[in-house]
Amino acid sequence: MANKLINSNNKGMTLIVKTITRLTVGLILLFGIYIVLHGHLTPGGGFAGGVIIALSFIHLMLAFGKEVALKKLSQSMASFFESLGAILFILIAILGFLGGYFLFNFLNKGEAFHLFSAGMIPLANIAICFKVGAGLFAVLVGLVLLKIGKKE
């Protein structure tokens, strides 16, 4: 009977992993957003922050099973965010034509070392974060959803 208490829901991992996941997955998401937004001041930027945000969703999927994770971010929403991120990035690049060149930094540059400075670089970081986060999550969901069986 003690065995039944440990694993009350048969999907996913043991009770210890589920409790820790509930506590930390929000903090991981917040940490990823911090790294993205401070990409022009400290090391990191769009790609590293995007990977950490994708990891928080994957953590949810590993600990609780794929139905819970897919309820939070379904497959079509991941595909939508991925294309949205890429289109935002190209839009920022084409808007640089207003300043004269492709990918020109045309917004106000502000003062150095403050959060709202450096023109369009934070916006580009946010666009890349959408694309990378959604893309990595979609790759793992695609690998998990395939049923492995012997066919000929």
Partner 1 sequence: MHIIPLFVAIPLGSAFLVSLLGKRVKRFSDSLSNLATFSLFFISLVSIFLVRNQGILVYKVGGWIPPIGISMVMDGLTSFMLVTVNLIAFLVTIYSISYMEKYTAKDKFYTLFLLMLAGMNGVIITGDMFNLFVFLEIAAISSYALVAFGTEHEELEASFKYAVMGCLASSFILLGIALLYSFTSTLNMADISRTLTERGDNKIIFFVSTLFLMGFGLKAALVPFHWWLPDAHPSAPAPISAMLSGVLIKVLGIYALVRVLFNVLGLGEMKSILYILMILGTISMVVGALLALGQKDFKRLLAYSSISQIGYIIFAFGLGTPLGFLGALFHLFNHSTFKSLLFLNSGAVVYATGNRDLEKMGGLSQKMPVTGTTSLIASMSISGIPPFSGFWSKLIIIIAALQARQFVLAFIAILVSIITLAYYLKVQKLAFFGKLRKKWEGVKEVPFPMKLSMVILSIICLAGGLLLLPGISEVFLETARDALLAGKEYAALVFGAL
Partner 2 sequence: MIYLLCFILFCVGLYCIVTKRNLIKIIIGIGIVEYAVNLFFILIAYKMGGRAPILAEDQVIENMVDPLPQALVLTTIVISLAVVALLVAIAVRIYEKYGTFDIREIKRLKG
The identity of residue 92, as a single letter, is I
Among 7, 79, 139, 142, the residue binding partner 1 under the rule CB under 8 A is 79
Residue 104 makes contact with partner 1 by CB under 8 A? yes
Burial 102-135, CB ≥16 within 10 A → b, else e: eeeebbeeeeeeeeebbbbbbbbbbbbbbbbbbb
Among 30, 75, 101, 114, the residue binding partner 1 under the rule CB under 8 A is 101
- Kindly indicate which of the ranges 4-12, 33-41, 89-97, 122-130 contains the residues binding partner 1, using the contact rule CB under 8 A: 89-97
Residue nearer to partner 2 on the CB measure, 2 or 112:
112
Residue 13 makes contact with partner 1 by CB under 8 A? no
* Min separation Cβ 93 and partner 1, Å: 7
102 touches which of partner 2, partner 1, none (CB within 5 to 8 A by kind)? partner 1
In 3D space, the residue among 52, 60, 65, 49 whose CA is nearest the CA of residue 25 turns out to be 60
Binding site for partner 1 (CB under 8 A): 79-80, 82-84, 86-87, 90, 93-94, 96-97, 99-105
